[in-house]
């Protein structure tokens, strides 16, 4: 028997629908561009021997199940914060800080650089012994001579630690220390003070071999679309949508679009309502539901063969305090109905592209609301670029070293969970994605791929005032097989070349 090719099967499926007087909407047609879906649908419909009894509703269900099954293999939510709604108490803060300290202490305890770890209360303050402690930085001061004094606290006591200018390497490290981070310190003990020789961060081990997919699949990182803002760059965003639909671009560009299997949207989908004072004047769409409806229209245009993972940001319709919940279903029902979407909170970890032969990639998503703080508070980062928007990759590296998305308590508002700290980076991700500063960045740290999305919003009046330089309409794309990352541009006219 001759095996039918996809085109023949496709025709038969379309005929099948027509014969049953079922209107084939564009969403169904789009699904038929996928060979796998065609063959599954073919089996589910045309192959039936007896006269088909399938109703339109059943057919829609079949389609949805097929897509869901296909997507299920490729996107799994690995970490998602479940909010147990209850009133928070001071005790919850204590619990949270203990949970955070314990987790980071455990990581630090395994570090070879820290020999003879002692709790602070048990330090023999009279000897000149070499000691190591693990503690939280509760204060940081510069002396008249520019030496640094840290106040370190563990669960037993506090002690001062002094880092002198003469020890250049550790001094440079210490300058970047931020409040509330947990560090390991080794040095010699004097009377009520440690003379620091070395500072150890929880950090991540060096990964020698990065994971690579077996097939030529690509993932795209978007963030900060800001739909509803008068600054939303609709024309440019439509240019991206046309490209991802393979409707525009050179042959080569279209070939690349076809290989995209994942699109991550790392928060700030819409501009929101009431996010900053007098925002109404800068809103083209003043209704939050309308903003998400507009967003959904774009998402609906993305081919169903692409898995879309959506997390929240500080402009989205959820609380500002982190961990942020996912966008609720009633806010954007159209997106939940799409079989190819995975909606998560902020932060979140998803595993993509796992197969029986390949364990998949762990992807950490965090919008980056805390980054404004670190872009300013960390000296080496502050001095490294003209604007905070230039520094996302450095901030993300800094946070991987701290194993925490917001080590300083005041760097982002949060809801304290007494049993766990959801902003800890406990698992080391393969890929770490962010956004928020409105300029794309690509970097890597010890084998972790760092990528930050750009934005689809022109420079706002506020950003103009504070000297923020966004760089909109750039799209980082990662080849999961080679792990190469490229930057695509949609701010250019058709006749200009993408770089």
Task: Annotate each residue in 390-409 with x if it binds ligand D5M (CB under 6 A) or - if it does not, as one string.
Answer: --------------------
Residue owning tokens 């690349």: 256
Distance CA 221, CA 487 (A): 10
Task: Annotate each residue in 211-250 with x if it binds Fe ion (CB under 5 A) or - if it does not, as one string.
Answer: -------------x--------------------------
Which residue from 147, 198, 463, 481 is in contact with ligand D5M, where contact means CB under 6 A? 463
Q: Nearest to residue 153, comparing CAs of 138, 142, 140, 141?
A: 138
The residues with which 487 forms a beta bridge, in sequence order, are 476
Residue ranges of E strands in 73-181: 75-79, 130-142, 148-153, 158-163
Q: How far is the CB of 402 from Zn ion (least distance, A)?
A: 21
Radius of gyration of the chain (CA): 26
Residue 57 burial (C-beta neighbours within 10 Å; 0-12, 13-18, 19+): exposed
Contact 454, 474 (CB under 8 A): yes
DSSP letters, 20-79, are TT----HHHHHHTT-HHHHHHHHHHTTT-SSPP---HHHHHHHHHHHHHHHHHTTEEEEE
Determine if 437 is a binding residue for ligand D5M (CB under 6 A): yes
Contact 268, 315 (CB under 8 A): yes
- Total binding residues toward Fe ion, as defined by CB under 5 A: 2
Strand order in the sheet with 474-479: 341-343, 307-311, 260-266, 218-222, 474-479, 485-489
Q: How far is the CB of 455 from Fe ion (least distance, A)?
A: 6
Which residue from 34, 268, 294, 362 is in contact with ligand D5M, where contact means CB under 6 A? 268
Q: Checking phi first, is residue 267 left (phi over 0); if not, alpha (psi -120 to 50) or beta?
A: left
Which residues have a Cβ under 8 Å from the Cβ of 69 and sit 6 or more positions away? none
Q: How far is the CB of 314 from Zn ion (least distance, A)?
A: 5
Determine if 313 is a binding residue for Zn ion (CB under 5 A): yes
* Partner interacting with residue 463 (select from Zn ion, Fe ion, ligand D5M, none; CB below 5-8 Å by kind): ligand D5M
Which residue from 41, 150, 388, 458 is in contact with ligand D5M, where contact means CB under 6 A? 388
Between residue 196 and residue 235, which ones bind ligand D5M under the rule CB under 6 A? Answer: 224
Q: How far is the CB of 326 from Fe ion (least distance, A)?
A: 17
The residues with which 362 forms a beta bridge, in sequence order, are 351
* Partner interacting with residue 276 (select from Zn ion, ligand D5M, Fe ion, none; CB below 5-8 Å by kind): ligand D5M
Between residue 260 and residue 279, which ones bind Fe ion under the rule CB under 5 A? Answer: 268
Determine if 436 is a binding residue for ligand D5M (CB under 6 A): yes
314 or 342: CB nearest Zn ion: 314
Give 88's DSSP letter. Answer: -
Which residue from 127, 130, 210, 462 is in contact with ligand D5M, where contact means CB under 6 A? 462
- Total binding residues toward ligand D5M, as defined by CB under 6 A: 13
152 or 269: CB nearest Fe ion: 269
Determine if 436 is a binding residue for Zn ion (CB under 5 A): yes
Q: How far is the CB of 187 from ligand D5M (least distance, A)?
A: 37
Near Zn ion by CB under 5 A, which window of 27-35, 278-286, 312-320, 329-337?
A: 312-320
Which residues have a Cβ under 8 Å from the Cβ of 344 and sit 6 or more positions away? 77, 80, 309, 310, 311, 326, 350, 365
Residues that bind ligand D5M (CB under 6 A): 224, 268, 276, 314-315, 372, 388, 436-438, 462-463, 468
Residues that bind Zn ion (CB under 5 A): 268, 313-314, 436
Residues that bind Fe ion (CB under 5 A): 224, 268
């Amino acid at each position: 028997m001759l095996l039918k090719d996809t085109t023949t099967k496709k025709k038969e499926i379309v005929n099948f629908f027509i014969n049953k007087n079922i209107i084939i909407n564009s969403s169904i047609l789009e699904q038929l561009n996928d060979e796998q879906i065609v063959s599954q649908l073919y089996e589910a419909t045309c192959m039936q021997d007896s006269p088909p009894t399938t109703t339109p509703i059943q057919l829609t269900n079949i389609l949805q199940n097929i897509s869901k099954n296909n997507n299920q293999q490729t996107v799994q939510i690995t970490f998602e914060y479940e909010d147990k709604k209850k009133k928070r108490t001071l005790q919850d803060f204590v619990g949270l800080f203990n949970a955070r300290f314990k987790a980071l202490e455990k990581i630090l305890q395994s570090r070879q650089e820290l020999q003879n770890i002692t709790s602070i209360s048990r330090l023999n303050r009279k000897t000149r012994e070499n000691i190591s402690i693990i503690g939280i930085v509760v204060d940081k001061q510069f002396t008249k001579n520019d030496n640094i004094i840290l106040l370190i606290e563990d669960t037993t006591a506090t002690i001062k630690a002094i880092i002198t200018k003469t020890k250049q390497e550790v001094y440079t490290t210490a300058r970047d220390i931020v409040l509330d981070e947990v560090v390991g310190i080794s040095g010699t003990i004097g009377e009520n003070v440690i003379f620091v020789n070395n500072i150890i961060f929880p950090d991540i081990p060096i990964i020698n071999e990065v994971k690579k997919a077996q097939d030529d699949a690509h993932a795209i990182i978007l963030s900060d679309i800001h739909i509803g803002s008068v600054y939303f760059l609709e024309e440019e965003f439509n240019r991206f949508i046309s490209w991802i639909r393979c409707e525009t671009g050179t042959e080569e560009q279209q070939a690349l679009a076809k290989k995209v299997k994942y699109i991550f949207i790392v928060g700030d989908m819409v501009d929101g309502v009431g996010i900053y004072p007098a925002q109404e004047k800068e809103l083209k769409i003043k209704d939050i539901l309308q903003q998400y409806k507009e967003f959904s229209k774009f998402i609906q245009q993305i081919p169903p063969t692409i898995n879309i993972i959506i997390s929240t940001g500080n402009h989205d319709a959820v609380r500002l305090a982190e961990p942020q919940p996912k966008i609720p279903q009633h806010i954007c029902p159209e997106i939940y109905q799409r079989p190819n979407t995975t909606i998560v909170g902020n932060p979140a970890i998803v595993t993509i592209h796992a197969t029986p032969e390949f364990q998949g990639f762990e992807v950490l998503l965090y919008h980056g609301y805390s980054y404004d703080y670190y872009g300013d508070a960390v000296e080496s980062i502050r001095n490294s670029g003209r604007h905070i928007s230039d520094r996302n990759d450095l901030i993300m590296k800094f946070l991987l070293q701290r194993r925490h998305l917001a080590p300083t308590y005041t760097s982002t508002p949060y809801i304290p969970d007494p049993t766990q700290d959801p902003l800890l980076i406990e698992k080391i991700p393969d890929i770490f994605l962010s956004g928020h500063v409105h300029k794309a960045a690509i970097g890597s740290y010890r084998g972790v791929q760092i990528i930050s999305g750009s934005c689809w919003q022109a420079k706002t009046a506020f950003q103009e005032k504070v000297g923020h330089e966004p760089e909109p309409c750039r799209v980082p794309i990662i080849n999961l097989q080679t792990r190469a990352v490229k930057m695509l541009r949609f701010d250019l006219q058709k006749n200009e070349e993408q770089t």
